[in-house]
Structure formats: structure tokens, C-alpha cells
């Protein structure tokens, strides 16, 4: 089955983006994305496009800024979902996730560290969300934590270690398609998902994503990913750089891939473009464990595979 590249989090001038839906879709199409979710704040932006190859999946960023900043992407919905407020952050997050699931959509917990809105204690109370933004392309979403605050990747491990099955994603959260591309601006091309699906139809992409049949990346590209109960095998193609550069593949990078387990513990590391991990045998049958990989490039870009639950 082929891989399809997509971005799940994008803004247009229907909310606080600087460009029309046409211009935004055009950027992603020119940069060889296969699908795109336009996720304006509390707005369902629909663009009818017959003359393109890019698949547009309807979406919305359900956005609350008062009394707390809780943003949740609703992916694959048919009509706008109004934000809901409850008595605390975790209950508010849960209520909005539940509304997305009721509407038949996929729920993505966005940038927990934006305004330091959500920490691991909130996230581990929540059930049923499909995705967590482990990487968000904006500098002010503080993916990496610090100063006593956990990174989003650490929060992901906290959730996974408590048997909350949630897939990680990397997204652009792009707003700025005009003017210069710079670190301080919210430009496209920084984080994406690669979905393994039979073909590029909305149903197939959404079903594959629901089942975790994808990896997510800020640059590292795989040509092969094999995950089963005995092994995880990866073949790395190179670094896909497309921030305004129209798909440049860097092939002379060096790579290290980590096998990560419960509580984020790194249990093995392999250097090179061909990676093969044997899944350790679990001795106690009642014990629960998961394994995931993280590939780090010498360019600084990263790709993550989804957890295998054992
Ligand atoms: Zn947001
Ligand atoms: Zn956003």
C-alpha cells in the first residue's frame, strides 16, 4: 500500500490565518502533500476543489481561550461543533472530545503547552481522543517543555503508560503563507503525518489514522515500516525538507533510532538507515507494555512511529 502525506492543522483567513483557503491549499498542493485538513478556529472551512489531486478533509479547531486555553481539532466532521465549557480543564477537554466522537469525527488534543494550558495530570484523565500533537510547528506551543514542565512527548508516554491508547501526530498549525518564512512565524511545512492506506479516499485515510497506520515526522522519511509482535523494522530514505523549498530530499544525513518503552525509557539504540529491533519477550503475562520508535537525524529532524501495545 502507498504512503500519503498530510497536514492535520492549518488556518486560513476564515479565522486568523493570513491567506484565503485557495492560497493555502495551493501551497500544500505545490509542496506535494496528498491531503490537508483546514482547521480554522470554531469554523468549518469548506473549499470545493474539483481540479486538484489534494484531498481536503473537513475539520475545525474547537477553540476555547477563556476560562482556559483548550484547543481540540475535530477531523472528518460534517458541521461545525461549538466549544463546550465544564467545571475544570480535564472535564472541558473531555466534553469537547466527546462531542467530536458523537459527530463521527477524530479528536486531536492540540498543543498542551500553549499558554501552559494542560499538563500530564489533565491529560491522563481524558479518554477517547485519537491523537496528541507531540510536535506542533509553532514556536509558542513549547513542544519541548522545560523549567519543570514536561515535553509533550513525555506527556504522551505518561498517557501510554496508563494504557490510554492515543496516537502521536506532528502538525504545522500554519497561519503565515505570505512574506518571509522564519522561525518566529507560523509557516507551513514543519510537521506532518505519513499515512499507509489503500488509496487516497477520505474514508481510507481516516480509517488508517484511526487505527494508527501512520508515522509522523518533522523531516525524516521512511520507505519501509514493518511493525509486528516480533519486530520493528525501518528503512530510512532521507530528510524531506519542504519549508518553502518544494520538496528537497537530503540523503547524506546520519540517523539514530531509539526503541522507547514504558515511561519513555530508551531500551535500545541503532545507528544507520536500516533499523531492526526485536521486541523483547514479556515474561509476566499480566504486565502491560508498549514499544515505539523515534528516529533522530543529524539535521535535527525527527520521525516517530506509533506505539505497539503488548
Ligand atoms: Zn490552537
Ligand atoms: Zn491552530
Q: Tell me what pLDDT residue 287 has.
A: 77
Q: From the CA of 41, how far away is ligand 2's center (Å)?
A: 7
Q: Tell me what pLDDT residue 1 has.
A: 77
Q: From the CA of 147, how far away is ligand 1's center (Å)?
A: 22
Q: Tell me what pLDDT residue 243 has.
A: 57
Query: What is the number of the ligand closest to the CA of 83?
Result: 1
Q: Supply the CATH classification number for the domain 1-218.
A: 3.20.20.140
Residues facing 292 on adjacent strands: 260
Q: Tell me what pLDDT residue 50 has.
A: 72
- Indicate the fold that domain 219-310 takes in CATH: Immunoglobulin-like (2.60.40)
Q: From the CA of 112, how far away is ligand 2's center (Å)?
A: 12
Query: What are the structural domain ranges in the chain?
Result: 1-218, 219-310
Distance of alpha carbon 101 from alpha carbon 92, whole angstroms: 14
Q: Tell me what pLDDT residue 247 has.
A: 64
Q: What 8-state DSSP symbol labels residue 104?
A: T
Distance of alpha carbon 13 from alpha carbon 19, whole angstroms: 5
Q: Tell me what pLDDT residue 49 has.
A: 74
Q: From the CA of 178, how far away is ligand 2's center (Å)?
A: 17
Contact indicator for 62, 108 with CB cutoff of 8 Å? no
Q: Tell me what pLDDT residue 240 has.
A: 87
pTM to 2 decimals?
0.96
Query: What is the number of the ligand closest to the CA of 113?
Result: 1
Q: From the CA of 303, how far away is ligand 2's center (Å)?
A: 21
Query: What is the number of the ligand closest to the CA of 69?
Result: 1
Q: Tell me what pLDDT residue 285 has.
A: 66
Distance from the first to the final alpha carbon of the chain: 25
Q: From the CA of 281, how far away is ligand 2's center (Å)?
A: 41
Non-local (6+) Cβ contacts of 290 within 8 A are 160, 161, 261, 262, 307, 308, 309, 310
Contact indicator for 279, 232 with CB cutoff of 8 Å? yes
Phi–psi pair at 94, nearest 5 degrees: -60, -45
Q: What is the dihedral of CA 159, 161, 165, 171, to 10 degrees?
A: 50
Query: What is the number of the ligand closest to the CA of 38?
Result: 2
Q: From the CA of 285, how far away is ligand 2's center (Å)?
A: 42
Q: What 8-state DSSP symbol labels residue 10?
A: B
Q: Tell me what pLDDT residue 244 has.
A: 53
Q: What would the grid cell of residue 126 be? A: 481524558
Distance of alpha carbon 1 from alpha carbon 66, whole angstroms: 44
Give pLDDT tens digits along the chain (310 positions): 799 999 999 999 999 999 999 999 999 999 999 999 999 999 999 987 777 789 999 999 999 999 999 999 999 999 999 999 999 999 999 999 999 999 999 999 999 999 999 999 999 999 999 999 999 999 999 999 999 999 999 999 999 999 999 999 999 999 999 999 998 999 999 999 999 999 999 999 999 999 999 999 999 999 999 999 999 999 999 998 765 555 678 888 999 999 999 999 999 999 999 999 999 888 776 678 999 999 999 999 999 999 999 8
Q: In the chain, which ranges are E strands? A: 3-7, 35-38, 55-64, 70-75, 106-109, 131-136, 167-171, 192-196, 214-217, 220-227, 231-241, 248-250, 255-260, 266-271, 274-278, 290-297, 302-304, 308-309
Q: Tell me what pLDDT residue 241 has.
A: 76
Amino acid at each position: 500500500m502507498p504512503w500519503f502525506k498530510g497536514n492535520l492543522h492549518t488556518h486560513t483567513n476564515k479565522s486568523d490565518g493570513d491567506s484565503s483557503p485557495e492560497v493555502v491549499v495551493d501551497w500544500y498542493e505545490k509542496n506535494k502533500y496528498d491531503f490537508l485538513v483546514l482547521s480554522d478556529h470554531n469554523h468549518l472551512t469548506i473549499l470545493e476543489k474539483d481540479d486538484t489531486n489534494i484531498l481536503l478533509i473537513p475539520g475545525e479547531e474547537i477553540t476555547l481561550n477563556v476560562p482556559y486555553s483548550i484547543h481540540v481539532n475535530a477531523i472528518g466532521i460534517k458541521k461545525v461543533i461549538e466549544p463546550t465549557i465544564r467545571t475544570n480543564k480535564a472535564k472541558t477537554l473531555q466534553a469537547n472530545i466527546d462531542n467530536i466522537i458523537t459527530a463521527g469525527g477524530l479528536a486531536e488534543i492540540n498543543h498542551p503547552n500553549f499558554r501552559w494550558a494542560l499538563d500530564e495530570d489533565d491529560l491522563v484523565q481524558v479518554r477517547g481522543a485519537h491523537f496528541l500533537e507531540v510536535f506542533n510547528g509553532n514556536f509558542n506551543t513549547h513542544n519541548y517543555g522545560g523549567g519543570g514542565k514536561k515535553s509533550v512527548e513525555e506527556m504522551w508516554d505518561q498517557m501510554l503508560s496508563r494504557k490510554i491508547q492515543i496516537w502521536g501526530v506532528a502538525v504545522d498549525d500554519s497561519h503565515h503563507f505570505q512574506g518571509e518564512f522564519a522561525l518566529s512565524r507560523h509557516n507551513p511545512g514543519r510537521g506532518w503525518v505519513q499515512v499507509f492506506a489503500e488509496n487516497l479516499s477520505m474514508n481510507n485515510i481516516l480509517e488508517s489514522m484511526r487505527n494508527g497506520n501512520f508515522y509522523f515526522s518533522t523531516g525524516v522519511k521512511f520507505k519501509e515500516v514493518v511493525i509486528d509482535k516480533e519486530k520493528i523494522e525501518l528503512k530510512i530514505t532521507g530528510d524531506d525538507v519542504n519549508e518553502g523549498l518544494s520538496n528537497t530530499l537530503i540523503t547524506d544525513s546520519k540517523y539514530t533510532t531509539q526503541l522507547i518503552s514504558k515511561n519513555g525509557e530508551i531500551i535500545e539504540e541503532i545507528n544507520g538507515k536500516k533499523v531492526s529491533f526485536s521486541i523483547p519477550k514479556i515474561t509476566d503475562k499480566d504486565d502491560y507494555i508498549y514499544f515505539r520508535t523515534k528516529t533522530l537525524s543529524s539535521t535535527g529532524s525527527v520521525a516517530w512511529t506509533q506505539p505497539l501495545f503488548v
